Amino acid sequence: MKIGPVPDHRSREGGALVYPVYSRRSRGLSVGINLFPDRKRCSFDCPYCEVFPFETDIVFSAAVMKAALASCLREAAENGETIRDICFSGNGEPALSPDFPEALRTAGALRDEFAAEAKLVLITNGTGLLDDSGFSFLSAAAKRGLEIWLKLDAGTEAWYGEMNRSGIPFGRLAGAFRAFAASGTPFTLQTMLCRINGALPPPEEEAAWLELAAALASGKSGLRSVHIYGKARPAPEDPLAEAAPREALDRRAALLNNILKNAGTAARAEVFY
């Protein structure tokens, strides 16, 4: 029997700790790890967020996660299926969970045993970089092979306010991102480009995002890639956030790639509609 990917990640909201999905950005089968089976926990409140309101009594258990992940990876290996990655995302910001370090170690060990080709990925909004211990932990984990996909939806406080609705000042977060990039740690930027209340990011936002993304790619930065992706799944606040035209994503990637190329930087932007 083949692993059945979960459509639209909905089993996460039923408390699943491990959920296989077909991922656009992974280009294949991705096994998600959900550290928040009881309710959403996040330091952002993005209007395009796909997590629908839910509540369960399920408590995260490292042992249950380990058993579920081992079973999923073993089944995939027996069926000759290729797992592209094991991805920490789930119902919120994974780096907020005290269980994240142990879960990451467990996932790494099981990956080595059953799916050596799979990458370990953390999809993060980057707020874990704001304290020294989080910064050091993520930097060390990335240098050991964890792929960090860092959310950068905005270049200005105003658009950040529309896209991420966080109490954390944008300048503080951007400063942590600059320090992370300057540390030479490998990472990928990920940017959701969509309409909010019918409006695309204004020209000054586009210019500021390009400037910041270029700064994060400069010097001895470990920037590997930039994912520019569109809204493709339903969200509980629809239609507050809506998909942008493909041309808007293409334009953003082309503008950044031109800057990166002229700067002699190897990293490139890719578009995921």
List contacts with ligand SF4 (CB under 6 A): 42, 44-46, 49, 51, 92-93, 125
By beta-carbon proximity to ligand SF4, the closer residue of 166 and 257 is 166
Please report how close the Cβ of residue 179 comes to ligand SF4 at its closest, in angstroms.
Answer: 20
By beta-carbon proximity to ligand SF4, the closer residue of 47 and 155 is 47
Tokens at residue 253, please? 């990637």
By beta-carbon proximity to ligand SF4, the closer residue of 46 and 65 is 46
Please report how close the Cβ of residue 67 comes to ligand SF4 at its closest, in angstroms.
Answer: 25
By beta-carbon proximity to ligand SF4, the closer residue of 118 and 163 is 163
Please report how close the Cβ of residue 254 comes to ligand SF4 at its closest, in angstroms.
Answer: 25
Please report how close the Cβ of residue 45 comes to ligand SF4 at its closest, in angstroms.
Answer: 5
By beta-carbon proximity to ligand SF4, the closer residue of 21 and 110 is 21
Please report how close the Cβ of residue 52 comes to ligand SF4 at its closest, in angstroms.
Answer: 11
CB of 159 within 8 A of CB of 201?
yes
